[in-house]
Amino acid sequence: MLNPATPIEKNPTYSRCADFDHPAIYQLTEPVDHAEEPTWDERKNMLYYVDMIAGGIYSYNYETSEVNSIHLDGAVAPVIPSEHDENLLIVGLNQAVLALEWDGTNQIGRQKVLANISQEFPTSRVNEGKADKEGRLWIGTTGTADSSGTMTPNAGIVYKITKESLDRPTVEIAPVNISNGLAWNAANDKFYYVDSLSFQIAQYDYDNELGTISNRQVAFDMHDYPEITGQPDGMTIDEDDNLWVAMYYGGVVLKINPTERALLQVIGLPARDITSTMWGGPNLDILFVTSSRLSLTDEEKLYYPAAGSLFAITNLKTKGRPVFNVDLIESI
């Protein structure tokens, strides 16, 4: 469980005197290079996340604070529990989607490749994914950066994968640059999506029965807020349909009302590169936040020693909704 003796309060908007109405920030883990893709499993009171480029899959046990990990050969994202087996995870690996057995504690079990994606872009890789209400997997890819740090443009795709389409994943959005955050509203008739280099949050009409999107609009545009630096990355949504967006290079999480295109709150964290967000905890009122140190210089790592850690933010006066699991396979 969270240790209330170790809060980290780095938000410059916090009062200098005690003010218990403000969010409290906790560093939960030691840093990894590029923590990403937090996913809450309410069956185990456990949070999964990845060290994406290094191939690490991590579990954080909410009750004991124990952290365990396994490693795969390549870039991993996302990691999502299976609907039918709490010890079966659906994982993106390089240009594939696989099922693997892991209980979050012991050694990895059997593995099985379920689908291959992004074959038309040989240097692309998985980057973000979530399950919708029906257990379909939505997974996005990204191009990779060259030695100068320049990203290959338009080398990413967003796919939808179902039980019936394992051998032919459906292209839903193409092309994209860096496929990132995905979320659905409570009514399940809107789908929100981030292509980081667009500096926008897109909104689509969503047909849950068909699992299709249409009518793209801009729900939020970072260009309207030049005082906020960075790129939108991963995101989640709360019970009031507000988005909580991680800002890479920005050091903050943004609370956004996409209906009003309004910025409601900015929360600073002790890391420059914030990668993703996810509601969790027994009451779904803890915002888990991942971060990266991958792009930091040695000097910047000294300035941001907690970069790459998993954080938790409490006292946000809202909560999330139950997380959907993937329904692609019952067992290996």
pLDDT digits 0-9 by tens, 207-232: 999 999 999 999 999 999 999 999 99
User: Does residue 66 fall inside a structural domain?
Assistant: yes
pLDDT at 5 over 60: no
pLDDT of residue 78: 98
Asked whether residue 218 is domain-assigned, the answer is yes
Determine contact, residues 61/46, Cβ cutoff 8 Å: yes
Given a cut of 90, whether residue 282 has pLDDT beyond it is: yes
Is pLDDT above 90 for 201? yes
* Three-state secondary-structure class, residue 260: coil
- Catalytic-role residue among 41, 51, 233, 273: 233
Domain span holding position 182:
24-314
In a domain, 328, yes or no: no
Mean pLDDT of 295-310: 98
Residue 181 has pLDDT above 70, yes or no: yes
Say how many residues make up the chain.
332
Q: Any idea what the CATH number is for the domain that residue 296 is in?
A: 2.120.10.30
Residue 127 assigned as binding residue: yes
**Residue 13 belongs to some domain of the structure:** no
How many CB atoms sit inside 10 A of residue 187's CB? 9
Please give the tally of structural domains in the chain: 1
Q: Is 61 annotated as a binding residue?
A: no
Q: What is the pLDDT at residue 19?
A: 55
Mean per-residue pLDDT, 250-259: 99
Please state, in angstroms and rounded to a whole number, the distance separating the CA atoms of residues 332 and 113. Answer: 10
Residues paired with 248 in a beta bridge = 231
Task: Give residue 14's pLDDT band: very low, low, confident or very high (50, 70, 90).
Answer: very low
Q: Report if residue 281 sits inside a domain.
A: yes
The overall average pLDDT reported for the chain is: 94
Asked if 85 is an active-site residue, the reply is: no
Average pLDDT over residues 229-249: 99
Residue 266's pLDDT band (cuts 50, 70, 90): very high
Q: Answer whether residue 114 is part of any domain.
A: yes
Q: Is residue 124 part of a domain?
A: yes
The CA distance from 121 to 24, in Å, is: 42
What token pair was written down for 81?
């529990």
Residue 180 annotated as binding?
yes
Q: How far is CA 155 from the centre of its chain?
A: 20
| β-bridge pairing 35-41 and 46-51 | antiparallel
Alpha-carbon torsion 267, 269, 274, 280, what sign?
negative
Cα distances (Å, whole numbers) of residue 327 to 133, 217, 235, 260 = 10, 29, 22, 33
3 is in an annotated binding site: no
Asked if the structure places residue 19 within a domain, the reply is no
**Three-state secondary structure call for residue 61:** strand
Mean pLDDT calculated for residue range 45-49:
99
Tell me which of 123-127, 177-181, 237-241, 303-307 is least confident. 123-127
pLDDT at 4 over 80: no
Indicate if the pLDDT at residue 7 is higher than 80: no
36 labeled part of a ligand binding site: yes
Q: Per-residue pLDDT tens for 117-174?
A: 998 888 899 999 999 999 999 999 999 877 676 778 899 999 999 999 999 999 999 9
Give the pLDDT band (50/70/90) at residue 12: very low
